[in-house]
């Protein structure tokens, strides 16, 4: 359950921006999570309210945007959608270099 640690990071990031960007409450948090990252969006949703309780994001809405995995073949230089890290190039079958899908970031916030 490293999703809990990651949510604690989210809370700390929000708290640090609250000072510099002068807000006191967060009403919405949008996360961007790549489908190849080892994060389970449902576990994030499950833990979000608990971790944000008593913080400036208590009761905030959580939106998770999932990003598809995308890999590039070094041999034939084609891009292939990846469902898993071990998916091969769909054109020549060789291993892919991950170009997209490992993301785990806070995209934006709505603050008051």
Partner 1 sequence: MCGICGCGSPEQKQSHKFVFKREHQHHHDELDTGRLIQLEQDLLSKNNTFAMQNRAYFKARNIFVLNLVSSPGAGKTTLLVETIKALNGQFPIAVIEGDQQTEHDADRIRATGTPALQINTGRSCHLEAQAIGQALNELDVKNNSLLAIENVGNLVCPSSFDLGEAHKVVVLSVTEGDDKPLKYPDMFHAADLMLINKTDLLPYVDFDVERCVAYAKRVNPNIHIICLSSTKGDNFTIWINWLEDKINVDSSVES
Instruction: Tell me which residue of 105, 108, 106 sits closest to 37, measured CA to CA.
Output: 105
Cβ-based nearer residue to partner 1, 52 or 111: 111
Least distance CB 54 / partner 1 (angstroms): 18
Strand partners, 82: 69
Q: How far is the CB of 71 from partner 1 (least distance, A)?
A: 11
Residues of this chain that interact with partner 1 (CB under 8 A) are: 1-2, 5-6, 9-10, 12-13, 17, 21, 23, 27-28, 30-31, 37-38, 61, 63, 65-66, 84-86, 88, 95, 98, 104-112
Would you say 49 or 110 has its CB closer to partner 1? 110
DSSP 70-88: EEEETTT--EEEESSTTPB
How are strands ordered across the β-sheet holding 79-82?
A: 79-82, 69-73, 96-100
């Amino acid at each position: 359950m490293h999703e809990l640690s990651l949510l604690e990071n989210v809370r700390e990031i929000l708290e640090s921006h609250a000072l510099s960007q002068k807000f006191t409450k967060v009403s919405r948090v949008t996360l961007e999570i790549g489908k190849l990252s080892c994060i389970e969006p449902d576990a994030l949703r499950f833990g979000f309210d608990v971790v944000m309780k008593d913080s400036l994001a208590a009761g905030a809405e959580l939106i998770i945007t999932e990003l598809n995995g995308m890999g590039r073949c070094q041999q034939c230089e084609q891009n292939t959608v990846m469902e898993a890290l071990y998916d091969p190039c769909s054109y020549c079958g060789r291993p892919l270099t991950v170009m997209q899908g490992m993301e785990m970031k806070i995209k934006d916030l709505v603050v008051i």
